Amino acid sequence: MSNKDREKWDLRYTEGAYAQRGHPSAFLVEWLSQQNLLSCPGAALDIACGRGRNSHYLAAQGFSVDALDISAVGLRLAQVSNAECTSRINWQQQDLIEHPSIPRDNYQLIIMFRFVAPQLLVTLANFLAPGGYLVVEEHMRWHATVAGPASDKFRVAPGELASLLMDQEVIFHQEGLFEDPDGVAVALSRIVVRKRC
């Protein structure tokens, strides 16, 4: 496990990172409401789940969620939250860059939100069941100051997600300036891929 990443994120969560940001992603909520997945929710995977805001939301919609993150502190905070349906969430500490351990052809839905890992991203369709969806949202490089990571290392370039996933069936792609549910302005790149049956 990459001790540096784990220690960095453990410290951030210990110091209260994202404590006030328990809302699920607006994009995830809106996108799911437009799909028929909600009539028959199955297995979902939350990549780098952090304090679990999106895992909690998916579990509340009826999904059985595998929620993976490198930070034991983040995972512990996620588990003690007041969210409902946490019994449907399997929290697991994993270094998803160095040693990902994910079952193949397994998930109806995989989400990766605000965790930039191109080498992992291009493998994620392998873990989707046929017909399953990969939903991704990343901070994007922007010409003006916006919220999110200070370093471009933790942002994607415009067009980068589409380029990385060009071999997949992309069914949605959107980039620009958005407002998070707490009113913060963010530059985002969003993409949805469907695994061919």
Question: In this structure, are strands 43-47 and 107-113 parallel, antiparallel, or unpaired?
Answer: parallel
Question: Interface residues for ligand SAM in 142-181 (CB under 6 A)?
Answer: none
The closest alpha carbon to 136, from 118, 111, 156, 167, belongs to: 111
Nearer to ligand SAM, 92 or 196 (CB): 92
- The answer to whether residue 44 forms part of the interface with ligand SAM (CB under 6 A) is no
Stretch that binds ligand SAM, among 36-44, 91-99, 122-130, 182-190 (CB under 6 A): 91-99
- In which element (H, E) is residue 69 found? strand 64-69
CA 188 to CA 165: how far, in whole Å?
16
Nearer to ligand SAM, 97 or 164 (CB): 97
**Please, what is the minimum distance in Å from the beta carbon of residue 197 to ligand SAM?**
28
Q: Which residue among 48, 59, 134, 193 contacts ligand SAM (CB under 6 A)?
A: 48
- The answer to whether residue 71 forms part of the interface with ligand SAM (CB under 6 A) is yes
**Please, what is the minimum distance in Å from the beta carbon of residue 91 to ligand SAM?**
12
DSSP 8-state code for residue 86: G
The closest alpha carbon to 123, from 150, 104, 142, 149, belongs to: 104
Other beta carbons within 10 Å of 165: 20
Q: Which residue among 60, 95, 158, 170 contacts ligand SAM (CB under 6 A)?
A: 95
